[in-house]
Amino acid sequence: MSAVNLQIEANPEAVAEAAAALVLAALHLAEPTLTLALAGGSTPQRLYRRLAREPEQPWSKLRLFLGDERALPDGHPDRNTSMAMGALVEPLGLSTSQVIFPHAGAEDLGAAALAYQQRLLQEVGDPPCLDIVLLGMGGDGHTASLFPGEPPATGWVAAVQAPRDTAARQRLTFTPATLLAAKQVFVLITGRDKAERLAAVFEGRDEGPLAQLLDARRGETRLIVDTAAASGLAGSQ
Ligand code: 6PG
């Protein structure tokens, strides 16, 4: 595994606090903009709510992207867009030009992925070098919408199908290549249900998308996890 900075915090609130401090520091240093890709899920949501409590920051520098999205109608509560709008974009009053999200409600998801890829390259260059990509990890080991055992997602943004029994199987996601090209990647993981998989990732027993990413990353990569998620790691007791 390449150099990964592992930070263990007491609880999910402390994970959000630590990630918020990193995002705010980057926002202050950014010139002229900070490009930030959001993740879905409850752990990242706690971070967005925390950031939304800081209205006095230089938010006009922020350009927001979405690392993955579910192909559901616009406004659907399970869309990552809906969560990000409610937890971060609306409370901070960000302008529409700052919010560069995919149109995953589109009927043709392949075309939506291509359109989002074009927009991404236009905004951050080719290869797409986002300043910060936020990720989570599902209990099944998926990160962004890259699922263990599914065919590799190619290009920079791909339309993919999640495994059977997954909510909202049609998804649009950044590919591993995009996650590798980012300047900084922060992976936020909380909860005991993630402990076994996280330990497997660190012990080289997991070949899922997160393990592959951590192996291949050369840029700064931080895992910010709570003690429950870290409870399977050697020396964590
Ligand atoms: C999605 C996500 C996903 C998420 C993790 C963590 O499925 O939409 O983007 O990768 O970040 O599943 O979610 P929790 O923090 O809720 O476990």
pLDDT tens track, the chain, 237 positions: 567 999 999 999 999 999 999 999 999 999 999 999 999 999 999 999 999 999 999 999 999 999 999 999 999 999 999 999 999 999 999 999 999 999 998 889 999 999 999 999 999 999 999 999 999 999 999 999 999 999 999 999 999 999 998 989 999 999 999 999 999 999 999 999 999 999 999 999 999 999 999 999 999 999 999 999 999 998 765
3-state secondary structure 173-201: EECHHHHHHCCEEEEEECCHHHHHHHHHH
Substitution candidate for ligand 1 out of 47, 65, 66, 68 with most atoms within 8 A of CB = 68
Ordered DSSP codes for 42-68: HHHHHHHHHHTT-TTS-GGGEEEEESE
Any residues with CB less than 8 A from the CB of 211 and at least 6 apart, and which? Answer: 1, 200, 201, 204
- Ligand 1 site, residue 35, Cβ cutoff 6 A: no
| Cβ 213 vs Cβ 143: under 8 Å | yes
Instruction: State which ligand 1 atom lies nearest to the alpha carbon of 190.
Output: 15
Determine if ligand 1 sits within 6 Å of the CB of residue 136.
yes
User: What is the rounded CA–CA span in Å between residue 99 and residue 96?
Assistant: 5
> Would you state the pLDDT for residue 3?
79
How remote is the CA of residue 96 from the centroid of ligand 1, in Å?
A: 24
Which 3 state secondary structure label does DSSP give 213? helix
Helix residue ranges per DSSP H, the chain: 12-29, 42-51, 80-84, 90-92, 109-124, 176-181, 195-202, 209-216
Amino acid letter, 220: E
d(CA 62, CA 193): 33
Q: What backbone torsions phi and psi does residue 43 show, to the nearest 5 degrees?
A: -70, -50
Ligand 1 atom 12: the closest Cα is on which residue? 138
